[in-house]
Amino acid sequence: MLITTMSPLMSKAISLCHFRPRFNLVVRLFSVSIYHNTRLAEVGRLELPKAQGKYETGQLFLHRVFGYRGVILFPWLARVYDRDLPNQAKGNQLEGASSDANDSGSGGGNTGKEVQKKTHTFYQVLIDQRDCPYIRAQTEAVTFLGNQESSRSLYAIPGLDYVAHEDILPYSSGEQHPLQHELFDKFLAHQPDKDPPFVAQETLRAWQKKNHPWLELSDVHKETTEGIRVTVIPFYMGCRETPAASVYWWRYCIRLENLGELSVQLRERHWRIFSLSGTLETVRGRGVVGQEPILSPRLPAFQYSSHVSLQAPSGHMWGTFRMEREDGHMFDCRIPPFSLESKPDDNSGNGSIDDANTTLGSKQPSGASGGGDDSTPSSTTTPTKPNTKNNKNDGDDAV
């Protein structure tokens, strides 16, 4: 029963599973070295996923799609705008969700379409650093603006992610340190008499409160085209003043998932970016974040984050991905329109936990510009810079 809900990636990641009473499964993850030697390591026992209710802070889990090990920090309640769901009956609640943003030039074909809204639980999680090299998703995707007003630097928190409730496969472990992440012991304390046996420390509560405006997940947008589902989650990052104007920044996370039987490759992106100031920008380019990912039945998903800036407090984006199926068929996959909304600025939060009696150094991420000293410990906040070439939005800048 449990195994049938797993993706092909999870089926590969979970090996030699044996049923135990009360639906427990012994989970052994395997890794293959460059010399093709296989090493098995027992991780823990799978538990029944929750059909109702929320998972608690400290719950260990496997990601249903990407297969990594993680731990839940705290939940978010988000508004989900799903363009695949049929409209509700007349009189029920419907929301536009920026549907009027989509015009004939976007290739979306959904002009004026009402979109059903529902609430859904997501979780802020830590990713086990041992699994990061094997995940088809950026593991430095959660970024913040620097504290300096004039700074255009971004700070990334490695191994932080947002996960939907249905993508959580909970498991238990008898280890005191089941997850490798530098924030695990700072955020969570081991209490074996609790269920789950890891509880939030004051450091986690302080960090959550301080950075709530920039971490908060509020809106999620979904749409499926020819078996390719695109999910977009926008986040407001803050405003920076320049001599010429105020510049408002957002990050957005995009997940593509192949629900079909044939492999599909992303070839091009086409963005339309509208600002409240009245400007409409069109951006085209090859691939996303320097890649042209293949979505196959075995590895069906790819996730990345990017950034956009406007000289106005709000706007919206929409567009298409040009996809090529393995049989040569080309088609445009719609990116659901989503709003870019600002909030009152509070420059106190930049992702750092230094105010919570922790001392972490900075390390420049690979391929990023900005300061950094490789001799210092690996950091919770690593400096990088958004793509600001010609002061134009690239649509998918590599972080």
Q: Which domains does the chain have, with CATH numbers?
A: 3-348+384-391 (2.60.40.1470)
Cα–Cα distances (Å) from 223 to 8, 89, 337, in that order, read: 22, 20, 9
pLDDT band at 94 (very low <50, low <70, confident <90, very high): very low
Q: Cα–chain-centroid distance for residue 36?
A: 31
Residue 103: Cβ within 10 Å count: 16
Answer with the residue of higher pLDDT: 326 or 392. Answer: 326
Cis amide leading into 337 (omega within 30): no
pLDDT band at 245 (very low <50, low <70, confident <90, very high): confident
**Report for 7-16, 23-32, 140-149, 335-344: range of highest mean pLDDT:** 335-344
pLDDT of res. 28: 53
pLDDT band at 85 (very low <50, low <70, confident <90, very high): confident
The gap between the terminal CA atoms of the chain, to the nearest Å, is 39
Q: Are 234 and 340 in contact (CB under 8 A)?
A: yes
How much of the chain exceeds pLDDT 70, in percent? 68
CA distance 224 to 332: 11
Q: Are 347 and 360 in contact (CB under 8 A)?
A: no
Of 145-154, 308-317, 355-364, 383-392, give the lowest mean pLDDT range: 355-364
Residue with tokens 């420059």: 347
Per the structure block, which two tokens stand in for 280?
């409409």
Backbone dihedral angles phi then psi of residue 212, each to the nearest 5 degrees: -50, -45
pLDDT band at 54 (very low <50, low <70, confident <90, very high): very high
Q: Say yes or no to pLDDT of 8 above 60.
A: no
pLDDT band at 105 (very low <50, low <70, confident <90, very high): very low
Of 84-98, 165-179, 193-207, 372-386, give the lowest mean pLDDT range: 372-386
Q: What is the pLDDT of residues 284-341, one digit of tens each?
A: 999 999 999 999 999 999 999 999 999 999 999 999 999 999 999 999 999 999 999 9
Q: What is the pLDDT of residues 159-203, one digit of tens each?
A: 999 999 999 999 999 899 999 999 999 999 999 999 999 999 999
CA distance 118 to 116: 7
CA distance 270 to 284: 5
Q: Which amino acid is at 284?
A: R
Answer with the residue of higher pLDDT: 85 or 89. Answer: 85
Of 116-120, 161-165, 260-264, 395-399, give the lowest mean pLDDT range: 395-399
Backbone dihedral angles phi then psi of residue 43, each to the nearest 5 degrees: -100, -45
Give the chain as a 3 state SS string: CCHHHCCHHHHHHEECCCECHHHCEEEEEEEECCCCCEEEEEEEEECCCCCCCCCCCCCEEEECCCCCEEEEEEEEEEEEEECCCCCCCCCCCCECCCHHHCCHHHCCCCCCCCECEEEEEEEEEEECCCCHHHCCECCCCEEEECCCCCCCCEEEECCEEEEEHHHEEEEECCCCCCCCCCCHHHHEEECCCCCCCEEECHHHHHHHHHHHHHHCCCEEEEEEECCEEEEEEEEEEEEEECCCCEEEEEEEEEEEEECCCCCEEEEEEEEEEEECCCCEEEEEEECECCECCEECCCCCEEEEEEEEEECCCEEEEEEEEEEEECCCCEEEEEEEEEEEECCCCCCCCCCCCHHHCCCCCCCCCCCCCCCCCCCCCCCCCEEECCCCHHHCCCCCCCC
pLDDT band at 357 (very low <50, low <70, confident <90, very high): very low
How much of the chain exceeds pLDDT 90, in percent? 56
CA distance 313 to 315: 7
Q: Are 152 and 240 in contact (CB under 8 A)?
A: yes
- Mean pLDDT throughout 270-294? 95
Answer with the residue of higher pLDDT: 317 or 364. Answer: 317
CA distance 301 to 330: 19
pLDDT of res. 144: 79
Q: What is the mean pLDDT of the chain?
A: 78
